[in-house]
């Protein structure tokens, strides 16, 4: 056991204030602030968030050390207010402490949800939703260029993909009059507004006596409403057994092991799919389109690839993706510059460990600045330019992308995400001509939110290509 005085903690950029520690430094966007601090203090440094020790890592070499040799020691999650209220008291996959229950959930979801076999079963849903997205856009711009705000179209796409996998029905974008869909959408949006790394009160016992009560009350209210919605979907499926949905499969497991696969566990899985799997993918599509609009020659190159590989007799599908390396490289380059979760999801050490020669005590929060790793000039040539070609040339950094994290707690939904994003992007480029709304470049600054959104929602001009007239009318 290292005694408190002798241990060598990672350096701090500046002295901590009493009580608040370094919290006053944390101006949003957090990943940028933390990157600046790492320029001062190096690839591993420590901060105090109120009473908690936080270690921030910002180089690929140190990240690798965290998630290979220290992977088990760092596989825990800090307990946050969100995890308590929205994450069913820390019992869902994203927020559960490392241990038996997490391992069960992870195994279950790997087999039942994220395996290639399962993803293939739901492939027709993704093709169908992609086509519905194209139809929606087509109505706006079939004969000439029209100006469209794409964010709601992309978020309907990913939400419907997930709700159809989970519950067998679309819930979004079916018209203003659909009260159920609207309520559900509002609820999810509201939950997202309570996001971010967590509430300052998680680090300040003192704050819990002030406005924390309201924060807690609000979270309890939305989580209660969400719980009722999810329960409603389960009850519906219970009356309609035999449908090929995720809930139905889980209800099957409930019959054989009722004490483990309770309704609460099933609702937790649904909640995680809705919250971890939708916004992350739709913001990635929006970032990709934004970057491409600023580089029309790359958009043309992608379209030429699609025309060559897919032609104009049919829509691009998921099995084409492996033959579309340039589209794949666009997705990689988008996730390099605009990772949807720039600080991954916070980890916590469950035992004392050593990282880069420093002592990291049990109970330390670990933040991984993937955004900074992806822009490290030591690894990437010209790190801030959007250049999908770097992946063709096998630039030295290419195996060093970590948008989905690393190790045992890395994103289990990465394959699903890559399929949704690749198919959406391929379809949008194959079927429409795209232009910026004016001369000036699309603004690429990032706004606030759980998953890193564009500060200004993307608006673009688009026009249907000839092949779409043919393909949507036959
Ligand atoms: C572009 C899209 C996505 C990105 C960038 C992304 C990124 C991430 C990252 C960085 C983590 C945390 C890794 C860590 O803790 O070190 C994570 C965890 C997770 N993601 Fe994703 N994700 C995406 C899509 C999805 C999808 C589509 C799903 C499911 C439908 C999903 C489900 C999860 C779950 C359940 C976890 C928690 C895993 C655990 O704690 O064991 N993600 N994701």
ipTM here:
0.99
Nearest CA to ligand 1 atom 24: 277
Atom of ligand 1 nearest to the CA of 96: 40
CA of 91 to the centre of ligand 1 (A): 16
Pocket test for ligand 1, best of 62, 276, 405 (most atoms within 8 A of CB): 276
DSSP three-state, residue 77: coil
- Residues 1, 32 contacting (CB under 8 angstroms): no
CA distances from 123 to 331, 422, 431 (A): 19, 13, 20
CB-count exposure of residue 140 (10 Å: 0-12, 13-18, 19+): middle
∠ CA(453), CA(457), CA(461), 5° rounding? Answer: 135
Nearest atom, ligand 1, residue 335 CA:
5
Q: What is the pLDDT of residues 320-355, one digit of tens each?
A: 999 999 999 999 999 999 999 999 999 999 999 999
Q: Which is nearest to 417 in space by CA: 317, 284, 320? A: 284
User: How many C-beta atoms surround the C-beta of residue 221 within 10 A?
Assistant: 12
Structure tokens at 198: 């967590």
* Phi, psi dihedral angles at 7 (to 5 degrees): -70, 150
Beta bridge partners of 48: 53
| Cα 196 from Cα 186, distance rounded (Å) | 18
Supply the DSSP symbol for 27.
P
For a mutational test of ligand 1's pocket, the pick from 404, 422, 451, i.e. the residue with the most ligand atoms closer than 8 A to its C-beta, is 404
Q: Which regions of the chain are under pLDDT 50?
A: 176, 197-198
Verify whether ligand 1 is closer than 6 Å to residue 161 (CB atom): no
At the topology level, CATH places domain 23-473 in Cytochrome p450 (1.10.630)
Q: What is the pLDDT of residue 226?
A: 93
Return d(Cα 134, Cα 151) in angstroms, integer: 14
431 marked as part of a ligand binding site = no
Interatomic CA distance for residues 135 and 432, integer angstroms:
11
Q: Considering only CA atoms, which of 456, 408, 407, 466 is closest in space to residue 433?
A: 466
- How many whole angstroms from 13 Cα to the centroid of ligand 1? 30
What is the rounded CA–CA span in Å between residue 56 and residue 124?
A: 42
pLDDT at 72: 98
pTM of the model: 0.95
Token representation of residue 176: 């203003």
Atom of ligand 1 nearest to the CA of 109: 35
């Amino acid at each position: 056991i290292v005694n408190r005085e002798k241990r060598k903690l990672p350096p701090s950029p500046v002295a901590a204030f009493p009580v608040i520690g370094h919290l006053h430094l944390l101006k949003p966007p957090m990943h940028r602030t933390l990157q600046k601090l790492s320029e001062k203090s190096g690839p591993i440094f420590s901060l105090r968030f109120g009473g908690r020790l936080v270690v921030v890592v910002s180089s690929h070499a140190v990240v690798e050390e965290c998630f290979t040799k220290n992977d088990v020691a760092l596989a825990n999650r800090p307990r946050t207010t969100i995890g308590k209220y929205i994450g069913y008291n820390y019992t869902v996959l994203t927020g559960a402490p490392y241990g038996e229950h997490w391992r069960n959930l992870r195994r279950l979801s790997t087999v039942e949800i994220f395996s290639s076999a399962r993803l293939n079963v739901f492939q027709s849903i993704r093709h169908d939703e992609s086509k519905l997205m194209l139809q929606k856009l087509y109505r706006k711009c079939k004969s000439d260029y029209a100006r469209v705000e794409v964010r709601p179209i992309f978020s309907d796409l990913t939400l419907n993909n997930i709700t159809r996998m989970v519950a067998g029905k679309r819930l979004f974008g079916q018209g203003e009059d659909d009260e159920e869909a609207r309520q559900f959408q509002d609820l999810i949006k509201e939950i997202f507004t309570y996001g971010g790394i967590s509430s300052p009160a998680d680090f300040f016992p003192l704050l819990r006596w002030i406005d924390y009560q309201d924060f807690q009350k609000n979270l309890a209210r939305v989580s209660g409403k969400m719980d009722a919605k999810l329960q409603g979907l389960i009850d519906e499926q219970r009356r309609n057994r035999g449908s090929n949905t995720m809930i139905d499969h889980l209800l099957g497991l409930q019959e054989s092991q009722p004490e483990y696969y309770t309704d609460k566990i099933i609702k937790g899985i649904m909640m995680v799919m809705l919250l971890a799997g939708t916004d992350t993918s739709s913001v990635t599509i929006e970032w990709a389109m934004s970057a491409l609009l600023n580089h029309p020659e790359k958009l043309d190159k992608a379209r030429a690839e699609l025309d060559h590989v897919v032609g104009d007799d049919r829509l691009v599908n998921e099995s084409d993706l492996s033959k579309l390396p340039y589209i794949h490289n666009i997705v990689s380059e988008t996730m390099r510059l605009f990772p949807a979760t720039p600080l991954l999801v916070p980890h916590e050490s469950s035992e004392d460990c050593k990282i880069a020669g420093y002592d990291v005590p049990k109970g330390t929060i670990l933040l991984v600045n993937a955004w900074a790793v992806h822009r490290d000039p030591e690894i990437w040539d010209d790190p801030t330019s959007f250049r999908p070609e770097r992946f063709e040339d096998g630039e030295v950094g290419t195996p060093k992308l970590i948008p989905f994290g690393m190790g045992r707690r890395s994103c289990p939904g990465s394959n699903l995400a890559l399929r949704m994003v690749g198919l959406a992007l391929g379809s949008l480029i194959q079927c429409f001509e795209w232009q910026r709304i004016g001369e000036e470049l699309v603004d690429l600054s990032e706004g606030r939110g759980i998953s890193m959104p564009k500060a200004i929602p993307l608006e673009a001009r688009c026009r249907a290509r000839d092949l779409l007239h043919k393909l949507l009318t036959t």
